[in-house]
Every structure is written in structure tokens, then in C-alpha cells.
Amino acid sequence: MDWGMKNRLNQVIQPDGRCFFMAIDHGYFQGPTTNLEKPGKTVTPLLPHVDALFVTRGVLRNCINPQHTKPIILRVSGGTSMAGGDLANEILTTSIDEIIRLNASAVGLSVFIGSDYENQTLANLSTLVNECEDHGIPVMAVTAVGREMEKREARYLALCCRICAELGARVVKTYWCEKDFDKVVKGCPVPVVIAGGPKCETETEVLSFVHDGLQQGAIGVNLGRNVWQSKHPVAMAKALNALIHQKLSVKDALHVFNESKTAEPTVLV
């Protein structure tokens, strides 16, 4: 592996082999998501506790202070919306020149396997890998399901992750599933990162599925709503960081959350 590729992977994946990516890319198809109306304001207090930010070029340019030194994973697929017909009908939105200009440490795009746009989105992945590999930029494939959340079971996720790795993704982001998540990870020859999904009812629920996913071989998370839609986003980010990097138990991470939240003003969602 070339020095540039190794270096960029090391920017986003920490020396312990683990990672905490924070996703704030939701607006690319959802518009101004709750608590992400002003992304710069939302992320500023959370940045010290995460390893990288998953963001579109528009929000990066307009809302994120370039003095921040956290690595950027640029979201480079899109072209659909909640108001449109099919969320899977994505294209590549961002040129390789723009990826380089914005100093991205990595890029991410969604693939929709099993959908009407399977071929198109896998072609997007292949094109992106071809362009990014030339420049030593890692590609993170996101195994997306659009509105079909029931698809998130091990056999399907294992299929998706393996295909993404076969096509050249350096990292794959996929959903955690209750049964056989270890088989999803084992079948994928590149590191697997857990996606979040809609906000859970409790902090314990979030910490538990992340802990379980890590135990079963995931290297970290790419979470959004379960962090910045929490009533205590900084406490949640601190607890997740400790769970991931200090390898705390759920109980101890919850203790970090409870200790931190007393020092943090409540955010009304």
C-alpha cells in the first residue's frame, strides 16, 4: 500500500485500530434534520471526542471552520431526496479534483444492493475506487437500504459488505444486526464500521449495540442521530469514545455518560 493511502487511513482509523466517525451528511437527502439545522454549531463541541467527520462538500465549505483539524470523510454520492421516488437512484456528486481540493482524508458513498439501482450504485463505487486509488484516497462504501429498514439482517448485510470489498472499498459501513453480525464481519476482508440508524430510545440501547458490534469484530462506528439528537450530545460522544477506544463495558460507558451530562446543558429535541 502506498504511503499516501496508509497515511490517510491512519488519519481516520486510530493507532488502536478503532474509529469513531460522526456522520452529519443527512441533509443531502433529508434536508435540515432535527438538531442539524446549523451543522457547524452542532458539531463544534463534539469534534474533540470523535475521530473524523462524515460530511458533504456543501456543509463542509459553508458550516465547518477550516481551522478544525479533524479528518474529513467526504460524502460523494447523492442526487435523491425524501420527497422523490427512489432513494437508491444515486449518482456520484463530487469530482476527484474537488475531493483533493477539500483535502478529504477519505470519501464515502452509498450502494443499494438488491434495489432497482444496484448496478448503477455499484458502478458508482467502482468508478470512485478507480479515481481515488490513483490518488491514495480510501473509499468507504455505505451499504444503504433507503426506506427498507427490514432488509438489515445478516445474510443480506454480509452479501453487501463482501461485494463492496470485492469492488475495492477500503472500509465498509454497514448496519449492526442482532443475529450473526460476526458472520457479516468475517465475510468481509476489509474493516467494517457500524452505521447508526434512527435514534434509539435510550443511551443504554446505543452503547449496547455498539459494544456488541465491536465484540463481534467491527472496528468502530459512523454514528449521527444517536449522538447529536441525544439530549446530552457531548456526554454521548464522550461515552462512545470511551467505549470504543478505552474498551469500556456498557455499564462503565454509561457511567461516563451520566458523569458528563451533569456538566452539559440539556438540548431540547
The position carrying cell 466517525 is 21
Which one among 9, 109, 142, 163 touches ligand 5RP, defined by CB under 6 A? Answer: 142
Question: Measured from the CB of residue 76, what is the shortest distance to ligand 5RP in angstroms?
Answer: 12
- C-alpha 235 chain-centroid distance: 19
Other CB atoms within a 10 A radius of the CB of residue 5 amount to: 17
* In the complex, minimum distance from the CB of residue 169 to ligand 5RP, in angstroms, rounded to a whole number: 14
User: Which of 43-51, 57-65, 180-188, 224-232 is the region at the interface with ligand 5RP (rule: CB under 6 A)?
Assistant: 224-232
| Region of 43-51, 112-120, 121-129, 220-228 interacting with ligand 5RP (CB under 6 A) | 220-228
Q: Which of 196, 213, 220, 233 binds ligand 5RP (CB under 6 A)?
A: 196
Q: How far apart are CA 207 and CA 247, in angstroms?
A: 12
151 binds ligand 5RP per the rule CB under 6 A: no
Query: How deeply is 77 buried, as exposed, middle or buried, from its count of CB atoms within 10 A (0-12, 13-18, 19+)?
Result: buried
Q: How far apart are CA 21 and CA 49, in angstroms?
A: 10
When asked if residue 223 is in the footprint of ligand 5RP (CB under 6 A), the reply is yes
Nearer to ligand 5RP, 23 or 248 (CB): 23
Q: Which stretch binds ligand 5RP (CB under 6 A): 194-202, 235-243, 247-255, 261-269?
A: 194-202
Q: How many CB atoms lie within 10 A of CB 216?
A: 18
Instruction: Between 132 and 210, name the residue whose CB sits nearer to ligand 5RP.
Output: 210
The count of chain residues that interact with ligand 5RP, using the rule CB under 6 A, is 15
Binding segment for ligand 5RP among 37-45, 121-129, 218-226, 255-263 (CB under 6 A)? 218-226
By the rule CB under 6 A, 195 interacts with ligand 5RP: yes
Question: Hey, which residues between 14 and 73 contact ligand 5RP (CB under 6 A)?
Answer: 23, 25-26, 54
User: What backbone torsions phi and psi does residue 106 show, to the nearest 5 degrees?
Assistant: -160, 170
- Phi-psi domain of 182 (left: phi exceeds 0; alpha: psi -120 through 50; beta: other): alpha
- C-alpha span between 180 and 186 (Å, rounded): 10
Q: Are 221 and 208 in contact (CB under 8 A)?
A: no
Residues with a catalytic annotation lie at: 173
Cell numbers given for 241: 469514545
Min dist CB 173 to ligand 5RP, Å, is 7
Q: Does 226 bind ligand 5RP (CB under 6 A)?
A: yes
Q: Which residue is nearest to ligand 5RP (CB)?
A: 196
Within the chain, residue ranges assigned H as helices are 3-12, 27-30, 39-43, 57-63, 96-101, 118-134, 154-166, 181-186, 203-215, 225-228, 233-245, 250-261
Per CB under 6 A, residues contacting ligand 5RP are: 23, 25-26, 54, 110, 142, 144, 195-197, 222-226
